[in-house]
Amino acid sequence: MRSNVILSLLFVALVAFAPLSYAQEGIVPGLQVRSLLVSEIENGTEIETAATETSQTVLSEALFFDPSGLDYLSSNQEAFQSLVALLNDNATGFELAIAGFAQLPDQPSEVVTIAILMFPENANEIYDIALQMQVISEEDALLAVINAGVDPSTLTATAAGGAGNTVSPLGVGTGAAGAGGGDTTVSAN
C-alpha cells in the first residue's frame, strides 16, 4: 500500500513537471529578449535605452543563451544591442535579419550569427535571405551559421542554393508545337 502511494506521488510529480521541461525545450531566445525589451518600453523607457538595458541584463545575468552564444554576444555587444532595439518591430528571425542588414550594412556576418542565435528555428530563412539580398558571400554566411552553433549540413537545399535560383514564367520558350521556338502559346497536345 505504501509503495502504491509513493508511486502515485512520483507519477503526479512527473506529470506536473513534464510540461515545464517540455516548455524549456521550445524556448526561443529572441522572443524572450523581445519580451524584456517590450516590458521596458511599456514602463516608459525609450527604445535605445531599453535596448541597452535589455542587452546588458541578458549578458550580465546569462539569460536565454548557451555559454558559447553569450560569449559571441559579449564580444559583439554593439551589434547585439542594435539588433535588440530592432526587436521592437521585428518578431521573427527573418524580419530581424532584413532589418539588421539595413541597420548594420557593414556587419552582415554579425547580423546572420546574432539573428540565428536569437531565432535558431529560422536558421534556414536567415541564411537564405542573406544570400538572396547578396549582402554576404556564401562562404561568410556559412561561417556565420557555424558561429551560431548550427550544423551547416542541416540547411535545406533551398537555403543553400537561394542566391542562384531563377524561374522562367510559365510558357516562355514553349512554342506552339512544343519545339521551344520562343512562342508563348502552349501546345494543344
How many domains in the chain?
A: 1
Q: Are the beta carbons of 55 and 87 closer than 8 angstroms?
A: no
**78 or 188, which is more confident:** 78
19 within domain boundaries: no
pLDDT at 188: 60
Mean pLDDT over residues 21-46, rounded? 84
* Percentage with pLDDT > 90 across the chain: 66
pLDDT at 169: 41
Q: Which domain holds residue 118?
A: 29-160
pLDDT at 156: 78
10 within domain boundaries: no
- Could you give the CA distance from residue 116 to residue 147 in angstroms, rounded to a whole number? 9
183 within domain boundaries: no
What pLDDT, in 10s, does the model give residues 35-84? 999 999 999 999 999 999 999 999 999 999 999 999 999 999 999 999 99
167 within domain boundaries: no
What residues contact residue 180 under an 8 Å CB cut-off, 6+ apart? 173, 174
173 within domain boundaries: no
165 within domain boundaries: no
Helix (H) or strand (E) holding 48: helix 47-60
What pLDDT, in 10s, does the model give residues 85-102? 999 999 899 999 999 999
95 within domain boundaries: yes
The burial class, CB within 10 Å (0-12 / 13-18 / 19+), for 131 is buried
178 within domain boundaries: no
* Amino acid letter for position 121: E
> Of 36, 32, 120, 106, which Cα lies nearest the Cα of 76?
106
- Could you give the CA distance from residue 33 to residue 59 in angstroms, rounded to a whole number? 11
- Using alpha carbons only, what angle is made at residue 31 by residues 30 and 33, rounded to the nearest 5 degrees? 65
Q: Cell numbers of 54, please? A: 535589455
Return the HEC string of 131-186: HHCCCCCHHHHHHHHHHCCCCHHHCCHHHHCCCCCCCCCCCCCCCCCCCCCCCCCC
